[in-house]
Amino acid sequence: MFNIQLLTGKVYKLVTIILVLVAFSCASTGGGDSASSDKVVYSDDFENSINGWGSRGDETVSLSSDNAQTGDKSLVVINRTSTWNGPIKDLSAILKPGETYSIGLWAKFDDGPDTIGLKLSIQSKDDVYTNIGGSKLVKGEWVYSEVIYSVPSSEYIKLYFETTWKDEGNAEANDLVPFYIDNLVIKRFLPIQDPVTEAGAEADIPSFHTFYPEFKIGVAINSSRYFEKKNKYNELLRHFNGFVYENDMKMDAMQPSEGRFIFTKAEKLISYAEDNNSVVRGHTLLWHSQYPKWFFTGSDGKDVNKEVLLKRIKTHIQTIAGKFKGRIYAWDVVNEVIGDNGELRDSKYLEIIGSDEYISKAFIWAREADPDAKLFINDYNICQSGAKQDLLFELVKKLLDQGVPIDGVGFQAHINISFPSVNEIRKAIRRFAELGVEVQITELDMSIYSSSTEGIKDASKEILLAQAYKYNALFEMFREEAKNGSLTMVTLWGLADDKTWLNNFPTKGRTNYPLLFGKDLRAKPAYWATVDPENLSVLIKAFDAIKSDNEVFGFDDEAWDVVTFKDIMNVKGEYFGDLGLLWLKDKLYIKVNVVDSTMNESDGIKIYIEEHNIKSKKLTDNTIIIDVPRSKAVEDRNDGYTLFYTVSLTEDSGKFNKKIGFDLRINDNGEMHSFNDYSNKQDDSTGNYCSVTLSKLAPMTEADNGTIIVDGIIDKEWNRALVVSLDVETEGITELGSQFRTLWDKDFLYVLLEIKDSVLNDESPNPWEQDSVEIFIDENNAKSVTYENDDAQYRVSFNNLVSFNGGDEVHFKSKTEKTKDGYIVEAAVPMSLVKLEKGLIIGFDIQINDSDDSGVRSGIRNWVNDTNLGYQDTSSFGVMILK
């Protein structure tokens, strides 16, 4: 996974194929700075020597005095005859497998087109080329690019630079211009040690688990020393009423050599739990990781056969489960048996035993040994929909049908602050609960990072607050699901942020803050969100004001049609109205709809603006406060009223991308309801105003009314539809000329995609790596950073294999057809929450996944969103209006 950050601040995300993550979604997010703990491992200013940079073909690579980002010289490539021509250097001695690097450089070109696409690529074998990033160069300007790159195991690692791919026959002079490279710096992310802080756990705060009597709350601990009173973690244990060892009951810890079982540590955990009215989860009887070396190997050094392995499994399970019979509340009998490709994990178990027989046997043997323990199948990345969840579901169903004694499904739930959404997790819990099994969340933590490549960031107040709000929402959802009988226990994967497996993993040099207690062992906002929500700081919301094309004259101006209105709600989710913002030059236009059915003299709204977005304990010189009474309403109705107001900002405020502080407070007969500052301190402090960015409207398209038969044939009806080309090169290389059209009727939004792709491949087990298209829908155009109920991703391969993320799987229809230079997809997309009607505005995007001939995704192209995060974040979708 990679991302590139240009100096303009725009973030481009690129191919995601290198990092193999143990327990992460296939997310790729990025941005932020990666500064603090990096070590420079290579730098080249191209002043004195060419330093081993050579050419890939017949082009010429040399030092040049014509251009320099600093100093006198740079590296130049001329006489290019193919787009893949450019400087290359073998960096195998510097870039080590398993390490993560940032590669930063300046690049420039002077001739030909206004812009060109520079690509950073890696050759790792004679025929393996991977584009790891790229950026748009603007003629005559030095542009900085930075890529974060995790090095895979490979024959060698050669870094090279090329330009946007075109096949040999089609490349023209403009595609083959010379370019310059300067000041290349490669840094390695170093592991960091968290500072030791003295604060220590609070003794006088309530036990967390008492707030959730509906289900058990466990914690993973990584040493039996924690049970000693003098240990600094001891004070934290009382927040939990269930325990699991993070490592000490895994296979290698329990039976390090054949027949030698170690029970002492487990015994300590179990007796501590018994003495403290708590339960124990046993983790884990079988796993493909952290097993003792001998387990799969015979005395001849070769793999044992099926019979021997089954016997070893039986002995391992029955000895341990038998030893602690009646004292373990739940066992993770098997861990992570589903692979990331949505098939049974390709493990030694499967290899030697040849089928899922080892799974059913494991459960049967565990039940025999301890009939009272609840028996779980445990896995990661299953609280989001997808192939992995589907296979686990099918497997559990099948095993239950066969009478295999499975009591529950464990969701590891190593989630992050933006993905998956609380609602997605709820859906997953319900899905499994319907099979009649219990669900437990077994390894909960919430990373502040959305991917392994995201740059280092501080655990700022905002991030910890956002985490707190999500933890709170999550636990409220757990409560409801526990009341429904679906969920019985939630276990946090660690006591405190000082010792979490997510420090320096999966990215070295990056520490994390995923738990309820901090690195100083003190309760974090995530804890207080539940225990004392009233005192939780206000979350500073952020949203965009859209630039209007023309001056806005009133509340019914059509400029408002494209605005996403934001709800005005209190912490409990009660609704008081909504608001929208537009801007042009120095004007900020505000439209507010207030719900208030009783007219009173004090009714009205108050607008607060801090022109430079300064968050201060006091008001600043740039604070504007305006009272607008209900009597000024442009519309007053039985159930409420609408206000329209124009504020003049000082001249330099009205600039594109500028941020201003903003808040709005409704006065309903003396009761205050604020958009952002729930504490209602806006008259004294700008500290809790939200942040509004003066931005541009997302690209827009229109759909005409019309009905289509989804048969893969382009009927005449399509002639009425607007043809929109797919122009955004999100990653890698994709062919030009693909386009889409849309039409709608009361039942469906119809989409026709005509894709240019000369090599069609669907060999990859990952649907997003097959040649396919994706249709993204944000029904309420809320542009949310996580998926909500109304958000959906529909993926259709050129062979009409359909995969979903959200959405209505039952009613969606699609048909595909190969063409001479690619394929077409015809689809009918149902809506879940909104009604298709004239004037409806939805968030919308289209993506093409382009597979190369070996079944690897080598390019992504979109209509609008260039982040490759459309599957979890709708904020960068375009907009569609139904005409």
Least separation in angstroms between CB 514 and ligand XIL: 11
Least separation in angstroms between CB 350 and ligand XIL: 18
Q: For residues 223 and 247, which CB has a smaller minimum distance to ligand XIL in the complex? A: 247
With CA atoms as reference, report the closest residue to 166 among 229, 223, 126, 113.
113
Q: For residues 412 and 667, which CB has a smaller minimum distance to ligand XIL in the complex? A: 412
Number of residues in contact with ligand XIL, rule: CB under 6 A?
Answer: 9
Cα radius of gyration (the chain): 29
347 is a contact residue toward ligand XIL (CB under 6 A): no
> Of the listed 59, 146, 182, 379, which one is catalytic?
379
221 is a contact residue toward ligand XIL (CB under 6 A): no
Least separation in angstroms between CB 595 and ligand XIL: 46
Q: For residues 100 and 412, which CB has a smaller minimum distance to ligand XIL in the complex? A: 412
Q: For residues 181 and 395, which CB has a smaller minimum distance to ligand XIL in the complex? A: 395
Least separation in angstroms between CB 147 and ligand XIL: 28
CB-based contacts of 146, cutoff 8 Å, min separation 6: 4, 5, 34, 102, 103, 104, 105
Do the bridges between strand 330-335 and strand 279-286 make them parallel or antiparallel, or are there none, so unpaired?
parallel
> Of the listed 38, 175, 336, 826, which one is catalytic?
336
Can 715 be counted among the known catalytic residues? Answer: no
Can 443 be counted among the known catalytic residues? Answer: yes
What CA–CA distance (Å, rounded) separates 29 from 455?
9
Least separation in angstroms between CB 246 and ligand XIL: 5
Q: Which two tokens stand for residue 790?
A: 């109304």
Which residue has tokens 């609960």?
433
335 is a contact residue toward ligand XIL (CB under 6 A): yes
What is the CB-side half-sphere exposure of residue 815 using CA atoms within 13 A?
Answer: 10
- Annotate each residue in 137-176 with x if it binds ligand XIL (CB under 6 A) or - if it does not, as one string: ----------------------------------------
Q: For residues 414 and 431, which CB has a smaller minimum distance to ligand XIL in the complex? A: 414
What CA–CA distance (Å, rounded) separates 536 from 472?
11
- Annotate each residue in 429-468 with x if it binds ligand XIL (CB under 6 A) or - if it does not, as one string: --------------x-------------------------
Do the bridges between strand 623-629 and strand 604-610 make them parallel or antiparallel, or are there none, so unpaired?
antiparallel
What is the CB-side half-sphere exposure of residue 205 using CA atoms within 13 A?
Answer: 20
Query: Do residues 503 and 443 lie in contact, with contact meaning Cβ atoms separated by under 8 Å?
Result: no
Least separation in angstroms between CB 83 and ligand XIL: 42
293: helix, strand or coil: helix
With CA atoms as reference, report the closest residue to 511 among 498, 495, 527.
498
With CA atoms as reference, report the closest residue to 316 among 333, 299, 304, 330.
333
23 is a contact residue toward ligand XIL (CB under 6 A): yes
The amino acid present at 788, given as its one-letter code, is E
On the 0-12 / 13-18 / 19+ scale of CB atoms within 10 A, 375 is buried
Least separation in angstroms between CB 96 and ligand XIL: 21
What CA–CA distance (Å, rounded) separates 750 from 754?
13
539: helix, strand or coil: coil
Query: Do residues 376 and 410 lie in contact, with contact meaning Cβ atoms separated by under 8 Å?
Result: yes
Q: For residues 283 and 673, which CB has a smaller minimum distance to ligand XIL in the complex? A: 283
With CA atoms as reference, report the closest residue to 391 among 764, 809, 765.
765
What CA–CA distance (Å, rounded) separates 121 from 142?
20
With CA atoms as reference, report the closest residue to 454 among 27, 881, 25, 46.
27
Q: For residues 247 and 800, which CB has a smaller minimum distance to ligand XIL in the complex? A: 247
Query: Do residues 70 and 81 lie in contact, with contact meaning Cβ atoms separated by under 8 Å?
Result: no
416 is a contact residue toward ligand XIL (CB under 6 A): no
Task: State phi, psi for 8 to the nearest 5 degrees.
Answer: -65, -10
Least separation in angstroms between CB 438 and ligand XIL: 18
What CA–CA distance (Å, rounded) separates 872 from 876?
11
Least separation in angstroms between CB 207 and ligand XIL: 24
What CA–CA distance (Å, rounded) separates 186 from 104?
6
Q: For residues 175 and 332, which CB has a smaller minimum distance to ligand XIL in the complex? A: 332
Q: For residues 240 and 608, which CB has a smaller minimum distance to ligand XIL in the complex? A: 240
With CA atoms as reference, report the closest residue to 611 among 562, 650, 566, 572.
650
DSSP 193: P
247 is a contact residue toward ligand XIL (CB under 6 A): yes
Q: For residues 219 and 703, which CB has a smaller minimum distance to ligand XIL in the complex? A: 219
Q: For residues 358 and 740, which CB has a smaller minimum distance to ligand XIL in the complex? A: 358
What CA–CA distance (Å, rounded) separates 416 from 384?
12
Do the bridges between strand 158-163 and strand 87-90 make them parallel or antiparallel, or are there none, so unpaired?
antiparallel
Q: Which two tokens stand for residue 46?
A: 């191209």
Q: Which two tokens stand for residue 29?
A: 């997010």
Least separation in angstroms between CB 22 and ligand XIL: 6
102 is a contact residue toward ligand XIL (CB under 6 A): no
Q: Which two tokens stand for residue 509?
A: 């040099």
Which residue has tokens 């686990």?
392
On the 0-12 / 13-18 / 19+ scale of CB atoms within 10 A, 368 is middle
Which positions from 464 through 503 interact with ligand XIL, judged by CB under 6 A?
A: 501
> Of the listed 38, 45, 443, 873, which one is catalytic?
443
Residue ranges of E strands in 298-416:
330-335, 374-379, 408-411, 414-416
Work out the angle at residue 803's Cα, subtended by the Cα atoms of residues 720 and 856, and round it to the nearest 5 degrees: 100
Can 379 be counted among the known catalytic residues? Answer: yes
Query: Which listed residue (45, 59, 235, 246) binds ligand XIL by CB under 6 A?
Result: 246
What CA–CA distance (Å, rounded) separates 568 from 592?
10
What CA–CA distance (Å, rounded) separates 879 from 562?
8
Least separation in angstroms between CB 414 and ligand XIL: 7
Least separation in angstroms between CB 380 and ligand XIL: 6
With CA atoms as reference, report the closest residue to 856 among 7, 12, 5, 18.
18
Q: For residues 31 and 218, which CB has a smaller minimum distance to ligand XIL in the complex? A: 218
Q: For residues 23 and 137, which CB has a smaller minimum distance to ligand XIL in the complex? A: 23
Across the strands, what pairs with 335?
A: 378
Least separation in angstroms between CB 456 and ligand XIL: 21
Query: Which listed residue (224, 389, 412, 667) binds ligand XIL by CB under 6 A?
Result: 412
Cβ-proximal residue to ligand XIL, closest one:
501
- Annotate each residue in 355-394 with x if it binds ligand XIL (CB under 6 A) or - if it does not, as one string: -------------------------x--------------
Catalytic residue numbers, as ranges: 336, 379, 443
Residues that bind ligand XIL (CB under 6 A): 22-23, 246-247, 335, 380, 412, 443, 501
